[in-house]
């Protein structure tokens, strides 16, 4: 987006909330930077953010994009399957409540 | 995790976070303890780290030289690890001002400054910092004289950038700690200069 | 991969628009600049993004461009520059 027309810089400072911090930590752990097995590269994270449809990219918050991208990468790599994710989301929605 | 309740009922993406995390834990890929420890580790990295490096460079010419030559190695000497990436330190002078941006995503020297502020990741900053740096700086309250040359650094790949600001005048008798306290996060991104 | 360029060399960024994950910003493609420094050799992001090894690793450079040449309507000091990291396979020597 370098050089594209855009508005004034808005000086928002936001203290990251817990779920965002956990997404961040997941990314670090899955990258193998912390010593574990490397299950994703930063390039895959970026690729899967870049391939979001433009309107989704604009609507989503930063860590919403990240969690989507990390999850997508885990599916692409076969670490988890779409079926497992679908089941898990339904189960947790029922267990903890969801707006979805 | 005990804070789970704070954002229930979950939004779609929060639901995804919990689900992904639980799946990865069930599969033995990560543990909740590792995650909690990593969250804490990241939380403890604040711009004070970067400020320490800057203040050290202000008082120690040898260190300053090393820092500009090989930022990664110089920081390691201070016990600050910079895993996998290379740190490039760029120095402000009376005739040259440096500004850092990442137009492609949000690359940021997190090992020295912590997590980036919201505006650094925003479309407006990322689009305009490369094309009209002076206008952007003036929105930050920094009016740069036309004679001062601007170097904009777009972190597009494996380098991370830290601006070494100019030491404020009349601080000859200041301690390193006091100097460090004058260095804000924004000074090290290049959207501000130290004010005392 | 051997480093082909050294600091001070005049280079031009390739003006191509393929698909994939690319770390060369659009705004700098086709522009001419000067090698500021050699940064080392790193896995190729275009490969790493697709679950491949990133080999052969690519030399990475910081390339310096004059702002007034990148943006025809640039307002500011005529010596203002923008510096961008660019992988070797995205650069061509100015003299071929």
Helix axes A82-96, A62-76, angle to 10 degrees: 140
Q: What's the full length of chain B, in residues? A: 196
End-to-end CA distance of chain A: 32
- Does residue A77 sit at the C interface (CB-CB below 8 Å)? yes
At residue B6, the pLDDT reads 53
**Whole-number pLDDT of residue B2:** 36
As a whole number, mean pLDDT of residues A11-30 equals 92
Encode pLDDT of B61-88 as tens digits.
999 999 999 999 999 999 998 876 799 9
**C65, C36 contact by CB (below 8 A):** no
Residue C70 reports pLDDT greater than 80: yes
Give the integer Cα–Cα distance in Å for C23 and C31: 15
Query: Is residue A84 within 8 Å of residue B23, measured between CB atoms?
Result: yes
Q: What is the pLDDT of residues B91-120, one digit of tens each?
A: 999 999 999 999 999 999 999 999 999 999
In this prediction, residue C42 carries a pLDDT of: 96
Size of interface B-C (CB pairs under 8 A): 73
Query: What average pLDDT does this structure show over A16-45?
Result: 93
- Interface A:B, Cβ pairs < 8 A: 164
pLDDT of residue A100: 72
Task: Specify the pLDDT at position A11.
Answer: 85
Element (H, E) at C87: strand C81-87
**Taking the mean position of all CA atoms in its chain, how far away is CA B74?**
16
pLDDT at C2 (0 to 100): 93
pLDDT at A12: 78
- How far is it, in rounded angstroms, from Cα B108 to Cα B46? 13
Does the residue C60 lie in any domain?
yes
> Are B56 and B179 a contacting pair, CB within 8 Å?
no
Domain residues for the domain of C22 are 10-93
Q: What is the CATH number of the domain that holds C49?
A: 2.30.30.50
Chain B residues lying within 8 Å of A46, measured CB to CB = 104-105
Does residue B4 surpass a pLDDT of 70? no
Local structure of residue C41 (DSSP, 8 states): E
Q: What is the ipTM of this complex?
A: 0.96
Domain locations along chain B: 9-43, 48-189
3-state helix, strand, coil in chain B (%, to 5): 50, 15, 40
In angstroms, rounded to a whole number, what is the distance separating the alpha carbons of residues C11 and C36?
Answer: 11
CATH topology of domain B48-189: Nitrile Hydratase; Chain A (3.90.330)
Binary contact (C75, B147; C-beta < 8 A): no
The domain total for chain C is: 1
Q: Does B88 touch chain A (CB under 8 A)?
A: no
């Amino acid at each position: 987006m370098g050089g594209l027309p855009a508005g004034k810089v808005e000086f928002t400072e936001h203290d990251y909330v817990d779920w965002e911090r956990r997404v961040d930590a997941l990314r670090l752990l899955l990258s193998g930077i912390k010593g574990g097995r490397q299950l994703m590269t930063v390039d895959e994270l970026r690729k899967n953010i870049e391939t979001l449809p433009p309107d989704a990219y604009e609507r989503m918050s930063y860590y919403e994009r990240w969690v989507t991208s990390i999850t997508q990468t885990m599916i692409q790599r076969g670490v988890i399957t779409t079926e497992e994710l679908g089941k898990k989301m339904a189960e947790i929605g029922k267990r903890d409540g969801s707006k979805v | 995790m005990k804070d789970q309740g704070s954002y229930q009922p979950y939004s779609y993406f929060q639901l995804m976070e919990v689900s992904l995390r639980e799946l990865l834990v069930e599969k033995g890929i990560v543990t909740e303890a590792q995650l909690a420890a990593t969250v804490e580790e990241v939380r403890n990295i604040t711009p004070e780290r970067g400020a320490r490096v800057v203040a050290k460079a202000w008082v120690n010419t040898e260190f300053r030289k090393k820092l500009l030559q090989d930022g990664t190695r110089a920081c390691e000497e201070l016990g600050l690890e910079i895993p996998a990436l290379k740190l490039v330190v760029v120095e402000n002078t009376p005739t040259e001002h440096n500004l850092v941006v990442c137009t492609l995503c949000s690359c940021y020297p997190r090992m020295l400054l912590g997590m980036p502020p919201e505006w650094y990741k925003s479309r407006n900053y990322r689009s305009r910092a490369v094309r009209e740096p002076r206008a952007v700086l003036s929105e930050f309250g920094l009016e740069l004289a036309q004679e001062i040359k601007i170097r904009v650094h777009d972190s597009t790949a494996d380098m991370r950038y830290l601006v070494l600001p100019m030491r404020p005048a009349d601080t000859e008798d200041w301690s390193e700690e006091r100097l460090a306290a004058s260095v804000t996060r924004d000074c090290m991104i290049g959207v501000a200069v130290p004010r005392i | 991969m051997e480093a082909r360029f050294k600091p001070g060399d005049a280079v031009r960024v390739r003006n191509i628009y393929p698909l994939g994950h690319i770390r060369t910003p659009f705004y700098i493609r086709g522009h001419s600049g000067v090698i500021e420094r050699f940064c080392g050799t790193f896995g190729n992001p275009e490969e790493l993004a697709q679950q491949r090894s990133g080999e052969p690793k690519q030399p990475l450079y910081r390339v310096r461009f004059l702002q007034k040449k990148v943006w025809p309507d640039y307002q500011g000091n005529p010596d203002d520059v923008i510096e961008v990291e660019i992988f070797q396979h995205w650069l061509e020597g100015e003299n071929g």
